Structure 1
Amino acid sequence: MPEQESDLTRLRLLVDQAVERGEERLSPEPRLSEELGVSRGRLRTLLKKLESEGMIWRHVGKGTFVGPRKLTETATVGTSYSVDAILEARLALEPQLARQAAMHCTADDIATMQACLEEMERAPSMLHWKRLDERLHRSIAQATHNPLLLTLYDTLRSHMKHTLDRRIDQVFGSAPSPKADTEAEHVAMVKTISSHDPAGAETIMRDHLRSVRDRLFGLR
């Protein structure tokens, strides 16, 4: 494994461990640099990569936070949304993101999605698989090449994290991953996007989200 990828893998593991402990902020850069055994300059490069994936976000003077950046820091304070509201929002937004991704994706976007699918097949734990699932869906939002749509997705994801994640843990428990149920759906979705088929990508994403909803909550 190339050194850069090895460093990224170890940093992602640190982020996953922070999530597992319920922490929202990573250690300060000097401590992270020491834990990873990399220079501060390399660490910032690695953090920038994870930030581009929506795995973390950084606020100058406040630190590095887990998850995507919120639309505004005040938008979510004291606000709680029902599971139904979040599911409906996903069904409204993400099929359109898949449509736009099919229209605007590049070869690099498709390579990112394919690499994510391959890593999901080898995911050693539910936590790892879940983070990869998040990365795949966000890579589709990124493939729209529309910063506003990506910001809307990140805002929605920040709310999903505190509701749907708990339900996923309840349903799948300690199983390695729910990939047996979703692998074919993910593969079909990426294939349709890479074929630049907007209508097909929109339909597959909608069907996928409905399938996930039914597995997590039953027919609604």
Structure 2
Amino acid sequence: MIKDDLVRLRALLDQTVERGEDRLPPEPKLSDELGISRGRLRTLLKRLESEGEIWRHVGKGTFVGPRKLIDSNPVAVSFSVDDILQARTALEPQLAALAAIHSTPEDVAEMDACLAEMKLAPSMLHWKRLDERLHRAIAQATRNNLLLTLYDTLRTQMKFTLDSRIDQVFGAEPGPKADTDSEHAQVVDAIRRHDPAGAETLMREHLFQLRGKLFGLR
């Protein structure tokens, strides 16, 4: 079943990140490792790429995470933690509000699937990947490709700032974090109800709580 194949492929993404790498093996080797056909593998990769979990560069390979839309060398492009937090607070509540207006039942089903998997996440690394998938699903539900591109750019930069802080605070603790899962669920419920004001407020409160957990800011 394609669902089982996706689970195995996503587990391989986690293993790649755990090794400190970001590039997946070539398609022939990857299909052998997963025990699936090249055609099935391409279907799975296309789906993960559409969800922002991987990106592909012709001639270079397939990489874990969102496409690097700008030079993401942390030395060449330096953004402070405060820059990232302010950008998230400015952008993501608006994305949640627009998602409440434009989301489809399929969009909400994807968010619900993320929430369900987060409750069963066996590790913080796995939980973080699902957290990224959920936030991107909200961005994708806006049906605005420019805003989705902005979100992907922000997500790329977060990997050089907030992600390291998350690792410092939570380490290898098993996920999920029940209070954060509850905050996520409230945002998704507001989107489900097509309540843009509620979705915007709840997302802003979620990011405020995250800021407090990571940096003790109140």
TM-score normalised to the size of structure 1?
A: 0.95
Identity of aligned residues (%): 71
| Residue 178 (structure 1) shift | 4.8
Q: Deviations over 1:47-69 (max 9, x none)?
A: 01111111100111111011111
2:20 to 22, 29, 45: 22
Which stretch of structure 1 is more off in the superposition, 113-122 or 173-182? 173-182
1:147 aligns with 2:180: no
Matched residue count: 216
Contact 1:172 1:178 in 2 (8 A): no
Instruction: Give the deviation of 1:76 after TM superposition.
Output: 3.0
2:216 to 209, 215, 218: 218
Task: Establish whether residue 202 from structure 1 lines up as the match of residue 200 from structure 2.
Answer: yes
Cα displacement (A) at 1:182? 0.5
Checking the alignment, whether the CA contact within 8 Å between 2:120 and 2:176 is kept in structure 1 is no
SS at match of 2:55: strand
Letter in 1 for 2:137: S
Q: How big is the shift at 1:181?
A: 2.3
The one-letter code sitting in structure 2 at the alignment partner of 1:69 is R
Correspondent of 1:122 among 120, 123, 126: 120
How far off its partner does 1:174 sit?
2.4
SS of 2:143's partner is: coil
CA distances 1:41-92 after superposition (whole Å, capped 9, x unpaired): 11111101111111100111111011111224xx434212111100100001
Residue aligning to 1:105: 103
CA distance in 1, matches of 2:58, 2:39: 16
Contact kept, 8 Å, 1:71 with 1:152, in 2: the verdict is no
| CA distance in structure 2 between the aligned counterparts of 1:198 and 1:23, rounded to whole angstroms | 38
* Aligned equivalent of 1:85: 83
Deviations 1:6-48 (A, max 9, x none): 1111110111111111212111111111111111111111101
Aligned equivalent of 2:31, options 30, 33, 53: 33
Residues 168-189 of structure 1 show CA distances to partners (whole Å, capped at 9, x for unaligned) of 1111122212522202111110
TM-score normalized by the length of structure 2: 0.96
SS in 1 for 2:59: coil
| Gapped regions of structure 1 (runs ≥ 5) | none
SS in 2 for 1:58: strand
Match of 2:11 among 13, 20, 25: 13
The runs of at least 4 consecutive aligned structure 1 residues that moved more than 4 Å come to: none
C-alpha distance in 1 between matches for 2:207 and 2:26:
37
Q: Which residue of 2 aligns with 1:46?
A: 44
Partners of 1:122 and 1:4 in 2: how far apart?
A: 20
> Which blocks of at least 5 consecutive residues in structure 2 are unaligned?
none
Over residues 166-211 of structure 1, what are the superposed CA-to-partner deviations in whole Å (9 max), with x where a residue is unaligned? Answer: 1111111222125222021111100001111111111110010010
Paired AA for residue 82 in structure 1: S
Q: What is the CA deviation profile of residues 122-177 of structure 1, one whole-angstrom value per residue up to 9, with x for unaligned ones?
A: 11111111100110000000000111110100000001012211111111122212
Please state if 1:76 is matched with 2:72. Answer: yes
- The amino acid that maps onto 2:93 is P
The answer on whether the counterparts of 1:28 and 1:63 sit within 8 Å (CA) in structure 2 is yes
